[in-house]
């Protein structure tokens, strides 16, 4: 059947169809040659014009960007990253620092003396006050980091469950990390842990370590500690070394970890750890979706009716 020929001269620049966006049966069919003719192509991804297709009009792969698993998961990471940068870091920056305590004590005591003989004692007192604040200040900051790491894992793991349920996973029992592992294993008919492609993803170890940290913080057990410090089930020595660097060894602590000890005191979490974790998890979910569903994150960003229509709307008044 011959394709329909549009007389663009009868359309108004205020109409989407004028730019080659033709709505048919609820889906957009896009005349990419029309976009090029109107010099609008620069606002759209180059891949729109080079992607192979069997029809004259380009029909996006999906209607909604959320039809891509990778968009659902990367959007969740992006939300968590935004909250961390705008809300939680702001809260940390508002904590009273040891330097502020030191200066406040110094200024306050200077305001109540006129004797130069007191200056040495005032300086000593201010230094002591700042030093006392240092421990509590570090403790509170670390607590915020640890709580947010647990939030990251909980929300990401929940989103993974939603994604795989929409794509066939039946969640009859509790959804655990182990059941997630076996779901991936079964999908690829893998018989052993070594054969499971999940373990071969370059950034999987960050998702795995976050699970172990979350488990340690929840349970405060020797078993959870050993899963990090000396995982007896892990044969990969490089991976064991990677995992062990996130907890203090008994040699470093000067004593053994025992059941019930607060896990947070044993975890090595630096000021950049949350940022690094979010960045690496972003890469992990892209790898996961490519492995499971053949999705490319760059393509998923634009190849949908919703995304391309948004580009058109965002640039609409510039085109007119």
- In this prediction, residue 1 carries a pLDDT of 40
At residue 115, the 3 state secondary structure works out as coil
- In this prediction, residue 101 carries a pLDDT of 62
Q: How far apart are CA 167 and CA 161, in angstroms?
A: 10
Q: How far apart are CA 127 and CA 103, in angstroms?
A: 9
State the chain's maximal CA–CA distance in angstroms.
101
Summarize pLDDT for 3-59 with one digit per residue, the tens.
566 788 888 998 999 999 999 999 999 999 999 999 999 999 999 999 888 778 999
235 pLDDT tier (thresholds 50, 70, 90): confident
Q: Residue 106: which residues within 8 A CB-CB, separation 6 or more? A: 122, 123, 125, 126
Q: Is the pLDDT of residue 78 over 80?
A: yes
- In this prediction, residue 107 carries a pLDDT of 67
Summarize pLDDT for 259-313 with one digit per residue, the tens.
999 999 999 999 899 999 999 999 999 999 999 999 999 999 999 999 999 999 9
Alpha-carbon distances, residue 92 vs 37, 162, 269 (angstroms): 52, 32, 15
- The pTM for the full model equals 0.87
Contact 306, 212 (CB under 8 A): no
Instruction: Give the closest residue to 22 by CA, choosing from 70, 58, 49.
Output: 58
Q: Residue 125: which residues within 8 A CB-CB, separation 6 or more? A: 105, 106, 109
Instruction: Give the closest residue to 160 by CA, choosing from 173, 172, 169.
Output: 169
208 pLDDT tier (thresholds 50, 70, 90): very high
- In this prediction, residue 79 carries a pLDDT of 98
Summarize pLDDT for 103-156 with one digit per residue, the tens.
776 667 666 666 665 667 667 677 776 677 778 888 999 999 999 999 999 999
The two structure tokens encoding residue 294: 């053949």
Query: What are the domain boundaries of the chain?
Result: 1-59, 71-96+141-300
159-169 average pLDDT score: 95
Q: How far apart are CA 299 and CA 302, in angstroms?
A: 6
- In this prediction, residue 7 carries a pLDDT of 82
Contact 202, 287 (CB under 8 A): yes
């Amino acid at each position: 059947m011959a394709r329909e020929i549009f007389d663009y001269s009868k359309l108004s620049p205020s109409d989407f169809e004028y730019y080659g966006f033709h709505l048919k049966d609820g889906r957009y069919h896009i005349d990419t040659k029309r976009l090029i003719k109107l010099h609008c192509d620069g606002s759209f991804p180059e891949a729109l014009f080079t992607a192979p297709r069997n029809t004259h009009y380009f029909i996006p792969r999906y209607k909604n960007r959320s039809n891509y698993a990778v968009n659902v998961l990367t959007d969740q990471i992006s939300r968590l990253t935004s909250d961390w940068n705008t809300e939680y870091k702001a809260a940390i920056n508002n904590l009273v620092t040891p330097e502020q305590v030191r200066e406040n004590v110094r200024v306050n005591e200077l305001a109540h003396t006129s004797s130069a003989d007191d200056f040495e004692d005032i300086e000593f007192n201010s230094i002591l006050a700042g030093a006392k604040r240092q421990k509590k200040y570090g403790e509170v900051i670390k607590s915020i980091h640890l709580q947010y790491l647990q939030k990251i894992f909980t929300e990401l793991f929940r989103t993974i469950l939603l994604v795989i349920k929409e794509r066939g996973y039946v969640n009859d029992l509790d959804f655990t990390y182990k059941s997630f592992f076996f779901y991936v294993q079964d999908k690829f008919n893998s018989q052993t842990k070594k054969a499971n492609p999940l373990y071969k993803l370059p950034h999987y170890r960050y998702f795995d370590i976050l699970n172990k940290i979350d488990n340690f913080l929840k349970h405060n057990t020797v078993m959870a500690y050993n899963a990090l410090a000396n995982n007896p089930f892990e044969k990969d020595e490089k991976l064991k070394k990677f995992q062990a660097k996130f907890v203090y060894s008994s040699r470093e602590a000067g004593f053994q970890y025992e059941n019930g000890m607060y896990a947070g005191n044993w975890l090595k979490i630096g000021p950049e750890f949350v940022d690094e974790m979010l960045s690496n998890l972003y890469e992990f979910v892209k790898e996961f979706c490519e492995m499971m569903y053949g999705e490319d994150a760059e393509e998923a960003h634009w190849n949908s009716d919703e995304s391309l229509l948004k580009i058109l709307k965002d640039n609409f008044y510039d085109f007119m």
